[in-house]
Every structure is written in structure tokens, then in C-alpha cells.
Structure 1
Amino acid sequence: MIATIESVSLLDETDQLASMVLHSELYERYISCREAVASNKAAQILIGQFQAVREKYNEVQRFGRYHPDYKSVIRQMMDTKRTVDMNPLIAAYKNAEKELNDLLGQVSLQFACAVSQSIKVPTGDPFFDRACSSGCGGGGKCKCHV
């Protein structure tokens, strides 16, 4: 690839955008919440318990409801997940992670719309994936208005 002024300029602008995301309040909150969870012994114990139950759950899922411990492991998994989700540090971390993911989805949507109006942008939720236009994203193949 031959470096042109345009490609070098584009790389500089992407570096600036990455720097803006890395210095944003959302990213700083995400990092502080992640560090708070990593340094909290109670949260780490809960995560360890969840991972242990998750291993049992995966084993039970291989056999489905025919596994002898199916109901007890499913119940234990739900209880453990509820306990983990109710921890305030973990809840704050998940919330910060979702907000950062939403920001990155918005940036991706802006890029996609700058390239083409028919690009679909995966947002992580298949029910809310967005396209730049109201069309199907197939270039008008379905006869919708693009």
C-alpha cells in the first residue's frame, strides 16, 4: 500500500477519535468501575462463585432436563446470577459498560452512514440494529425505499 496524504490524514483522524473516546467521561467511569470490581474482595468472591456454578450449568446443559441435577443447578444458577447482579459495584460496572458500548455503537453508525446509506450497523441487540436509512440494507432488493 502506498501512503498518500489522504490515507495518512485519515489515520491521524482515527487516532484523534480513539484518543477522544479514551479520554471521555464514559470510558473513565468504565475503567474506574472495572478497577473497583477487581479490587473488591466481596465482588471477586461472588464472581468466583458464579463461575463455579456456570461450569456446573454448562455441564447440565449438555444433557438438558434429563440430567439428574437439572432443576437444582438451574435454580442455583439463577440465584447466583441474581446475587451477582444485585452487588452495587458489579451493577455500576455493567451500567458503565453498557453506556460505553452505546457510545461506540453511535460512532459506528456515524461511520457507516458516511460510507453508505444502506449499511446496517450491529448494535449488540438484534431488535434494535440500525441502518442509516429506513430501507432494508439490501440496496433496494426488496423494493423498499432506500
Structure 2
Amino acid sequence: MLATLERVDILHKADALAKMVLESEVGEDYLLCLYKLRADREAQRKVNAFTKWKDLYEDVQRFGKYHPDYKRVNLGIREAKRDMDMHPSVADFKRAETSLQSLLDEISSMIGRSVSQFIKVPAGNPFFETGGSCGGGCGSGGSCGCS
């Protein structure tokens, strides 16, 4: 691939945009919450417990309700997830992660619309409004009513 001045300029602008996102209030909040989550031993213990239950759950799902531990594992994973999600560090991180994802979705949509109004921009949040009837990037071939 040949590096033209236009491509180099686009790469520089992309780097500048990435730096702006990281230095934004949303980006800094995300990084702070990530640091706090990684430093919180109790939160890490709960994440690890949930991961163990998740591994058991995936094993049980191969056999479905016929697995002898089906009910125990389903109950255990739900309790572990609720316990993990209710921890303040995890909840703060998830809120910051959602805010950052919304910002990135909005930026992607703006970039897509600047190229063409017909570009479908996949968004992390299915309820994200992009001005279309389906929220963008549905991948259903127009069966959702988008055109």
C-alpha cells in the first residue's frame, strides 16, 4: 500500500481524534474507573468467582436442562453475576464503559454521515439513534424496515 499525503493526513487526524477521546471527561472517567476496578481486591474476587461460574455454565449448556447440575449452576451464575454487578467498583466501571461506548458510537455515526447519509454504522447499543429507522447496522437485509 502506498502512503500518500492524504492517507498520512487521515492517520494523523485519526490519532488526534483518539487522543481527544482519551483526554475527554468520558475517557478519563473510564480510565479512572478501570484503574479502581483493577485495584479493588474484593471486586476482583467477585469477578473471578463469576468467571468460574461462567465456565461451569458453558459446560452445563452443552447438555441443557438434562445436565444433573443444571439448576444449581443456573442459580449460582445468576447470584454471582448479581453479586459482581452490585459491587460499587464494577457498577461504576460499567457506567463509564457505557458512556464511552455511547461517545464512540456517536463519533462513528458522525464520520459515517460525513461520508454518506446511506452508510449503515454499527453501534454497540441497539437503541442508539442514527437517524435511520433501524438504528443502523442491523444486518437483516432491510427486513427491519430500513432502506
Instruction: Tell me the TM-score normalized by structure 1.
Output: 0.85
Of stretches 128-137 and 10-19 in structure 1, the one that deviates more from structure 2 is: 128-137
Letter in 2 for 1:30: Y
The reply on whether 1:82 has 2:82 as its aligned counterpart is yes
Secondary structure at the residue paired with 1:79?
Answer: helix
Alignment size in residue pairs: 141
2: CA distance between counterparts of 1:118 and 1:129? 16
The reply on whether 1:67 has 2:41 as its aligned counterpart is no
Matches within 5 A, 1:1-146: 1-126=1-126, 128=127, 130-131=129-130, 133=132
Could you tell me which runs of 5 or more consecutive residues in structure 2 were left unpaired when the two chains were aligned.
Answer: none
Of stretches 117-126 and 44-53 in structure 1, the one that deviates more from structure 2 is: 117-126
1: CA distance between counterparts of 2:3 and 2:100? 32
Deviation at 1:49, TM superposition (A): 0.6
1:74-110 superposed Cα distances (whole Å, 9 cap, x missing partner): 0111111000010011000000001000000000001
Residues 129 and 121 (structure 1), Cα distance of their counterparts in 2 relative to 1, 3 Å cut: farther
Runs of 4+ in 1 over 4 A off after TM superposition: 129-137
Residues 116 and 70 (structure 1), Cα distance of their counterparts in 2 relative to 1, 3 Å cut: same
Deviation at 1:120, TM superposition (A): 1.2
Deviation at 1:130, TM superposition (A): 4.8
In angstroms, what is the RMSD of aligned CA positions? 2.5
2: CA distance between counterparts of 1:2 and 1:44? 46
- Give the % identical residues: 41
Secondary structure at the residue paired with 1:118?
Answer: coil
2: CA distance between counterparts of 1:46 and 1:125? 26
1: CA distance between counterparts of 2:49 and 2:39? 16
Q: Contact conserved, 2:46 with 2:84, CA < 8 A, in 1?
A: yes
